[in-house]
């Protein structure tokens, strides 16, 4: 008996056969549908405020890397590229990292999107809000470091708040998965799937930590796409959002000289000098300068580097003529430095060269005489919490509750931060208003000195 098929049915069957019989591109090796499905989807801002970069992974190559998106429907298309990434472990597991730039976005507009290809298939549909225009608005951030695949205590609350639109960006201040390379990269894959309910909706901005150093930072470099990716491969970069200039730095260049050499340290430092010079020149329109970097200059944890000895990040390495970061940040008038690494939370008084420079005794964070430091590394990982030692006089508040930080830059003069405790079911355990009527090194005035 003859069977008559409509044209639409024939097309559907052809596409279905194409998907089921997807080819990997590796000598014609046949692969399953799961091997070409998009996963580990996350977005990031680029150097251009009207752009967002969508990054995802597939186990095998696909015919095209594409994102369909739009405000009301998936009517717009953008095509990018994919790179093959091979883990450095014994199994040499491979995957394909896809990157697609969505450009000419309308500021503050909500877009829906999915990623993949019309042949091998698409992801679920997600959404994001394009960056608002100009500097006269109040960006909101979730800030944390040291979150692993196991014991990720803050993950559930962060997922909920991200999907409800509470944040304009996430700042993950180093140390991911514990570790990306473990089990031949399978732990890294699990972590990227784990953060997808956050990172597919909110730009996930990162800096590198000590747990990313394996195989020359290869997992960190390949899995993310930060601004100026072609220049620095995510290891250092800067970007603007509202009235804020944010600088992401690599502190590992001070600690792995035998394997990394010294050139990366000097390259980053020279770039930082140039970037800060431009940020200072732009301060009339964008007054706040914030740095994020993993290993802190100051901490009161039981730690050899930032409490028991002088921090290499702070003081540098005189034996090779390598400068630390504290002087250049101070002389450029950096307002706020955010760190992690210690699995705890600590708010410092305004401090420079181990000396406290509060604005006044009654209002220490109003027009302070030095940068403010925050350590927020308590999002949760398999290593647990970090114990404290005796506090320095610069230590204003500390807690080893699991949790994360919320930050809102309200305007040119007022910045608000609060620490959320996951141990206490979301209770805010610390708050700070940083108020600056003047930005830049001219703002520093030495009052309420406390030395140790």
pLDDT tens-digit profile, the chain (452 residues): 444 444 344 333 333 434 334 444 444 455 688 899 999 999 999 999 999 999 999 999 999 999 999 999 999 999 999 999 999 999 999 999 999 999 999 999 999 999 999 999 999 999 999 999 999 999 999 999 999 999 999 999 999 999 999 999 999 999 999 999 999 999 999 999 999 999 999 999 999 999 999 999 999 999 999 999 999 999 999 999 999 999 999 999 999 999 999 999 999 999 999 999 999 999 999 999 999 999 999 999 987 778 767 899 999 999 999 999 999 999 999 999 999 999 999 999 999 999 999 999 999 999 999 999 999 999 999 999 999 999 989 999 999 999 999 999 999 999 999 999 999 999 999 999 999 999 999 999 755 555 44
Contact 130, 105 (CB under 8 A): yes
Say how many C-beta atoms besides its own lie within 10 A of residue 208's C-beta. 28
DSSP secondary structure letter of residue 104: S
Cα-based distances in Å from 208 to 38, 75, 339, 426: 25, 36, 11, 27
Residue 53 backbone dihedrals phi, psi, to 5 degrees: -105, 125
CB 149 within 8 A of CB 158: no
Q: Which two tokens stand for residue 17?
A: 């056969």
CB 225 within 8 A of CB 99: yes
Peptide bond into 305 cis (omega under 30): no
Contacts for 29-32: CB closer than 8 Å, 24+ residues apart = 31/59, 31/60
The tokens 């549909």 sit on which residue? 125
Q: Distance between CA 329 and CA 200 in Å, rounded?
A: 33
């Amino acid at each position: 008996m003859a069977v008559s098929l409509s044209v639409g049915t024939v097309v559907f069957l052809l596409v279905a056969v194409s998907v089921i019989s997807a080819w990997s591109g590796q000598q014609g090796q046949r692969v399953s549908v799961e091997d070409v499905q998009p996963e580990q989807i996350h977005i990031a801002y680029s150097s251009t405020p009207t752009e967002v970069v969508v990054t995802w992974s597939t186990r095998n190559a696909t015919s095209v890397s594409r994102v369909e998106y739009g405000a009301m429907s998936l009517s717009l298309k953008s095509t990018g590229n994919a790179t093959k990434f091979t883990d450095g472990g014994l199994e040499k597991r491979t995957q394909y990292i896809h990157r697609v730039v969505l450009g000419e976005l309308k500021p503050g507009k909500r877009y829906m999107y999915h990623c993949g290809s019309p042949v091998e298939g698409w992801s679920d549909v997600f959404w994001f809000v394009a960056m608002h225009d100009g500097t006269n608005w109040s960006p909101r951030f979730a800030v944390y470091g040291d979150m692993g695949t196991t014991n990720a205590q803050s993950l559930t609350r962060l997922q909920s708040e991200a999907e409800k639109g509470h944040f304009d960006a996430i700042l993950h201040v180093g140390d991911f998965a514990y570790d990306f390379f473990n089990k031949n990269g399978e732990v890294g894959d699990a972590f990227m799937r784990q953060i997808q309910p956050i990172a597919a909706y909110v730009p996930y901005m990162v800096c590198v930590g000590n747990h990313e150093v394996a195989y020359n930072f290869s997992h960190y470099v390949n899995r993310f796409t930060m601004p100026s990716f072609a220049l620095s491969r995510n290891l250092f970069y800067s970007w603007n959002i509202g009235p804020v200039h944010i600088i992401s730095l690599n502190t590992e260049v001070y600690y792995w000289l035998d394997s990394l050499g010294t050139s990366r340290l000097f390259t980053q430092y020279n770039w930082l000098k140039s970037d800060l010079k431009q940020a200072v020149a732009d301060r009339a329109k964008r007054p706040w300068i914030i740095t994020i970097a993993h290993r802190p200059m100051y901490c009161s944890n039981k730690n050899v580097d930032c409490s028991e000895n002088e921090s290499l990040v702070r003081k540098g390495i005189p034996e090779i003529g390598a400068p630390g970061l504290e002087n250049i940040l101070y002389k450029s008038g950096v307002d706020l430095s955010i760190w992690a690494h210690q699995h705890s939370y600590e708010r410092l008084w305004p401090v420079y060269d181990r000396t406290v420079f509060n604005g006044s005794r009654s209002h220490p964070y109003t027009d302070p005489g030095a940068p403010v430091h925050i350590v927020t590394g308590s999002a949760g990982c398999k290593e647990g919490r970090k114990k404290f030692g005796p506090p320095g006089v610069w230590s204003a508040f500390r807690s080893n509750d699991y949790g994360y930080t919320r930050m809102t830059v309200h305007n040119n003069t007022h910045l608000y931060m609060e620490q959320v405790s996951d141990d206490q079911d979301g209770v805010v355990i610390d708050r700070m208003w940083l108020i600056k009527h003047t930005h830049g090194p001219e703002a520093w005035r030495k009052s309420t000195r406390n030395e140790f």
